[in-house]
Homo-oligomer: A and B are copies of this chain.
């Protein structure tokens, strides 16, 4: 019988590998398992951490982000059926999806962020739908997908340079908008700062923002919102 107290973190909620303390209790606490950020970790250490998480919850895919070629190779050696999209990897079965997340990008150069967001949405249990290259310099491209944006549970907008796309979309539809600035651009772009500031200062109400190039964070947030919008959260988190 769940008693409320049972959900609280205990000292045994993590596995101590010496070089890492893997948070196997996060699935219980938050409804989603820990995700492995591969950058800066040795491939072998990454495999070991994934292994602990996979063993702890084999029914739910483990997500690995910012994986280099070496990481991907090491993960595929161990789990040949791992799903790989550019720098994002999933080990284990993807969950069933609820709700719909539309991912829109301003240009084709934003593609790697789109891929990270899309795979994260799927691994966190919602259905991603991708629409690329609808920058504001050709406004009719935005207007052409308006119905699609309107029907989504949440929209993720990914754009570099001046980052104006979330403002335009946020003024067109009432769907919640999660904006992701990208580092695409040069000069006074300052590696994504211009898009970041632009999105934070959006004149359209209800635009929220993630870190530069952070498709993962946007994907997690959007999936959580989208799956709640469909059948209520209690079904999902406490089946």
Q: What is A's interface to B at a CB cutoff of 8 Å?
A: 4, 7-11, 13-14, 18-21, 23, 25-26, 29-32, 34-35, 37, 39-41, 45, 66, 106-109, 111, 132-141, 143-144, 146-147, 150, 153-154, 161-164, 167-168, 170-178, 181, 183-214, 216-218, 220-221, 224-225, 228-230, 232-233, 237
Contact of A11 (CB < 8 Å), options: B109, B140, B171: B140
A191 CB, nearest partner CB in chain B, Å: 8
The 9 lowest CB-CB distance pairs between A and B, nearest first, are A187-B212, A9-B140, A164-B164, A40-B109, A137-B171, A30-B174, A31-B174, A194-B197, A206-B220
Asked whether A208 lies within 8 Å of B205 as measured between CB atoms, the reply is no
Q: Which of A25, A138, A221, A232: most chain B Cβ within 10 A?
A: A138
6 new A-B contacts, CB < 8 A, other than A164-B203, A186-B214, are A31-B174, A107-B203, A135-B171, A154-B225, A187-B201, A228-B229
Quick one: closest B residue to A41, CB to CB?
Answer: B108
Asked whether A138 lies within 8 Å of B25 as measured between CB atoms, the reply is yes
Contact of A164 (CB < 8 Å), options: B8, B198, B211: B198
Residues of B within 8 A of A144 (CB): 11, 14
Each complex incorporates copies of this chain amounting to 8
Asked whether B224 lies within 8 Å of A201 as measured between CB atoms, the reply is no
Asked whether B224 lies within 8 Å of A206 as measured between CB atoms, the reply is yes
Bound Cα distance from A179 to B12, whole angstroms = 27
Bound Cα distance from A217 to B208, whole angstroms = 8
Residues of B within 8 A of A237 (CB): 174
Bound Cα distance from A140 to B16, whole angstroms = 13
Asked whether A205 lies within 8 Å of B187 as measured between CB atoms, the reply is no
Residues of B within 8 A of A135 (CB): 171, 203
Asked whether A205 lies within 8 Å of B188 as measured between CB atoms, the reply is no
Bound Cα distance from A100 to B124, whole angstroms = 23
Bound Cα distance from A140 to B23, whole angstroms = 9
Task: Say whether, besides A9-B138, A178-B208, A205-B216, A194 and B187 are in contact (CB < 8 Å).
Answer: no
Asked whether B188 lies within 8 Å of A140 as measured between CB atoms, the reply is no
Asked whether B190 lies within 8 Å of A197 as measured between CB atoms, the reply is yes
Asked whether B167 lies within 8 Å of A137 as measured between CB atoms, the reply is yes
Bound Cα distance from A77 to B90, whole angstroms = 38
Residues of B within 8 A of A202 (CB): 137, 161-162, 217
